[in-house]
Every structure is written in C-alpha cells, then in structure tokens.
Amino acid sequence: MSPTPVSFASPIAPVGYSWEATSAEIARRYGVDPASIVRFDLNTAPAPPSIAEREIAAGRFAAPLSEYPPSDYATLVEAAAAAYGVAGDELLVGAGADEVLDLCAKAFLPPGGVAVAAIPTYAMHRVLTEQRPARFVGVPRRGPADGWTMDPDAVRAAAAAENATVVWLCNPNNPTGLAEPGDSVPALLEALAGDAADAGRPVPTVVLDEAYAEFAGGTLIPLRRDHPNLVVVRTASKAYALAGLRVGFAIAQAATIDRLAPYRPPGSVSVVSVTAVAAAMADQPGMRARVAAVSVERERWRAALAAIGWPAGPSVTNFLLVDFGSADRAAAAAEHLLRHALVPRTFPADHALAAYLRLTVRTEADDDRFLEVVAAL
C-alpha cells in the first residue's frame, strides 16, 4: 500500500515511484466494501470546509468553467498573501505543494547537481531530485529518543562536501511528525551562507516544506527577509482541508520568486480551486478551529492507542507514528487493518521506519472504529 523504494537505473530516465493503492484497488484485493474504507494513510482532513463548498455550489468562479483561469490567480494570491503575511510578489501559486517542489527542483537544481536532505523525510524530495536527474544525498536524522531531529552539522557538512545546490528541509517533518528545535533551521541557514562565502561559491537554495506548519503553531516565513536563498512551501491540503483541489504556494523574496516563475505552467490550478481555496484562506478563524479540533482528537486517540498496546510517539501534525519494534510486526498489523478496510501508511523494508505505521487523525467515530479493530488483533 505504500510507495516502493525509489530506484534510478538510467541517467536519463525518470526515477521510478509507486503511489498508494486506490480505495477501489484495496476493495478488490481484500474483498471489502469500498464505502467502508477509511484512509489513515494520506494525512488528509475528514471533510472540506463548508465555506469552500458554498463557493463551489454558488458557482462564483474566477472565470467561466469553459475558460482557462486568469494566469495571475489574482484573487488567490491576494487571499494567500494576507494569510501568510507577505507581499503578493513574494508568493507563487502551484497545483499543490508537489508542483511547487517540482518548480524548485527545475529552477534551482541543475541536471547532474546534488541535493541534500535529512532522512527520513518527505519522499518527493528524493523523487524530484532524481527526476532532474541529480544526485540525492540523505543525511540520517537522530533517532526517536531525540525527536527525529535533523543533525544540522551533518547536513551542513554534506552540503559543503558535495557542493549541493539545494537543501531540502521539512518542518514539521513528514513522516516523523515533529518540528525542529527553534534555532536549528535559522542556524543552518546562517552556516550554509557562511560556508558558501568562505568557499567562494553560491549559497545553496534551501527549500523549506512547511505543509504542517499550522498544526505546529509556527512558521519560519519571516526568515526569508534575511535569506534570499530560502523558499518556504505551504499548502491548502492540510490545515485548510482542500487536498482534492491541489493548491500550494512558494514564499520567498520577490527576486527569488522571479527565478521560479518561468517554470510555472500558466493554468495548472483550476478556476474551481482558485475560488474555493481563496475563500477558505480568508476564513482564518475556521482554519484555526479545525486545527484545534484535530489536535485535541490526536491526543485523545494517541492515549487510547497506547492503552491497547500501540505506542504512538508525540506529534505536532495531523498524524501519529506507531512503533512496532520490527518490520514483520508492523506488516502484520497493517494486514489486519487492511482486511477491516482501514488503510495505514506503511514503509518499505529498507526504510528507516520499516517497523512503524503512520496513521492520519480522522473523525472521532473513524478513530474509535480503528481502536475496535486494533483491540481484536
């Protein structure tokens, strides 16, 4: 049910990647009712915001559906810039955070170049690197006892040794669910800039994936003012609960956005997405209430899982990471869940988290159904 390990056999062919099985595929494989399937693997929200649904129902779109969207996405840019506290020319819209990450790879990572990341982290960072094609250098994170934090000195050393042009960061980190200590990313940005100046080479672009920042209650967007090499990536998929509309954002100094802009397709974000996401982003109280409700349910569910023998680590996101002690036990638990139409996120056998399952926080009713199935294991 999970992505297979990334493979790269040819210097010109794109990297191979296998996406999560669809609910229809799972229904066929396990003989379950498709309507009974609950996705605990995708880190999406249980339901979209009502304000977005109302805008779609009213049909107040930025352009007729028979036309392309305005290429500047002006209403969406205005709403997002206000939500993030930046100027309009410091923001670029993409079809989900994944397209924004892809644009960063195209703009800042030349074929044959090198990108560095602390691993385990979001799988697309490696996928996009190797699709350039470029070389991905993974720097192991500290273990669970240290909150899965990155080792800034090791990341810095790898970036210098490899002459990296991109450093991928994810904060809070997916799939470990925790944020970096408050000073580690700013210190790394300063160190990378200093090392580049000492070596007489360009500063690597730091792409900071903040998909779960609203859940963590903080952002490093203000660091862009002092670091022209920083691009912060945000999304409407998580806290705004609109993953199906595929909208993401790059936030950086205006000159850096100008370097990204030539790679952006003119109409990859639909008029429906522009309209609904702009409305949702204008409803900041609604977003904060949704995040608070998910956070409360996360802690309730985490305690209940622990009580029945599934120890989930701490999290500041909308998902939990459960340690089973071995890959075999994790695989057996996943198989049991799947036979009951509950889909966890698993990891390949050679992954650092092979002994874990990642579980998305759903509704209280869905999470209680999950607990009942686990109790019967």
Q: Summarize pLDDT for 20-38 with one digit per residue, the tens.
A: 889 999 999 999 999 999 9
DSSP tag of 90: G
Q: Please write the tens of the pLDDT for every residue from 230-286.
A: 999 999 999 999 999 999 999 999 999 999 999 999 999 999 999 999 999 999 999
d(CA 155, CA 139): 6
Report the pLDDT value the prediction gives residue 7, as an integer from 0 to 100: 37
Q: Which residue(s) pair with 170 in the sheet?
A: 209
Report the pLDDT value the prediction gives residue 10, as an integer from 0 to 100: 40
Report the pLDDT value the prediction gives residue 4, as an integer from 0 to 100: 38
DSSP tag of 352: T
d(CA 59, CA 40): 32
Report the pLDDT value the prediction gives residue 18, as an integer from 0 to 100: 59
pLDDT of 9 > 70? The answer is no
Single-letter amino acid, residue 126: R
Reported confidence tier of residue 377, pLDDT bands at 50, 70, 90:
confident
pLDDT of 151 > 80? The answer is yes
Report the pLDDT value the prediction gives residue 163, as an integer from 0 to 100: 97
Mean pLDDT throughout 358-362?
98
pLDDT of 57 > 60? The answer is yes
pLDDT of 6 > 80? The answer is no
Reported confidence tier of residue 60, pLDDT bands at 50, 70, 90:
confident
Report the pLDDT value the prediction gives residue 19, as an integer from 0 to 100: 75
Q: Are 45 and 290 in contact (CB under 8 A)?
A: yes
Q: Please write the tens of the pLDDT for every residue from 271-311.
A: 999 999 999 999 999 999 999 999 999 999 999 999 999 99
Place of tokens 């979001």: 122
Q: How far is CA 41 from CA 56, 293, 326, in A?
A: 27, 19, 19
Q: Are 126 and 14 in contact (CB under 8 A)?
A: no
Q: Tokens standing for 97?
A: 């955070």
Q: How far apart are the first and last CA of the chain?
A: 20
Report the pLDDT value the prediction gives residue 76, as an integer from 0 to 100: 97
Q: What is the pTM of this model?
A: 0.95
Report the pLDDT value the prediction gives residue 5, as an integer from 0 to 100: 37
pLDDT of 3 > 70? The answer is no
Q: Tokens standing for 42?
A: 């995708």
3-state secondary structure of 309: coil
Q: Please write the tens of the pLDDT for every residue from 162-204.
A: 999 999 999 999 999 999 998 999 999 999 999 999 999 999 9
Structural element, H or E, at residue 291 = helix 284-307
Residue 300 CB partners (closer than 8 Å, separation 6+): 364, 367
Q: What percent of the chain has pLDDT over 70?
A: 95
Least confident span in 12-16, 83-87, 287-291, 351-355: 12-16
pLDDT of 149 > 90? The answer is yes
